[in-house]
Amino acid sequence: MLPCALAGHGEEPRSIDRHWSQPTHKPPGLFLPRTKSVTIDQLPFAVDTSSQWFRGQFNGRDVILKSIRTTDPSVWTDLRLHSSFKSPYVIELLDGIIDATTASVQLIFESMEGTLRSALDSSLLDERKKIQVALDIAHGLAYVHGQSLVHCNLKPGNVFVDHFGRAKLADLDLCCDPKHVRKTIGTPQYMAPELTAFDSTTEVSFPVDVYAFGVLLAELNTGDVPYSDGDYVSQFALWKDVQGGRRPALRDDCPAWYRDLAIACMAAEPSARPTVAEIILRLEPQLH
CA angle at 240 for the pair 238 and 244, rounded to the nearest 5°: 115
Q: pLDDT tens digit string along 173-216?
A: 778 877 766 655 788 999 999 888 776 666 779 999 999 999 99
Q: How many residues does the chain have?
A: 288
How much of the chain exceeds pLDDT 90, in percent? Answer: 48
Q: pLDDT tens digit string along 40-74?
A: 787 888 887 777 889 999 888 899 988 887 766 66
Mean pLDDT for the chain? 82
Mean of pLDDT values over 148-160:
93
Instruction: Determine the pLDDT at residue 181.
Output: 63
SS3 content of the chain, % helix, strand, coil (to 5): 35, 20, 45
Domains and CATH numbers, the chain: 38-109 (3.30.200.20), 114-286 (1.10.510.10)
- Which of these is catalytic: 99, 171, 173, 209? 171
The candidate with the shortest Cα–Cα distance to 192, out of 251, 150, 161, is: 150
How far apart are the C-alpha atoms of 55 and 6, rounded to whole Å?
Answer: 11
Instruction: Determine the pLDDT at residue 129.
Output: 96
> Is 241 considered catalytic here?
no
Instruction: Determine the pLDDT at residue 49.
Output: 72
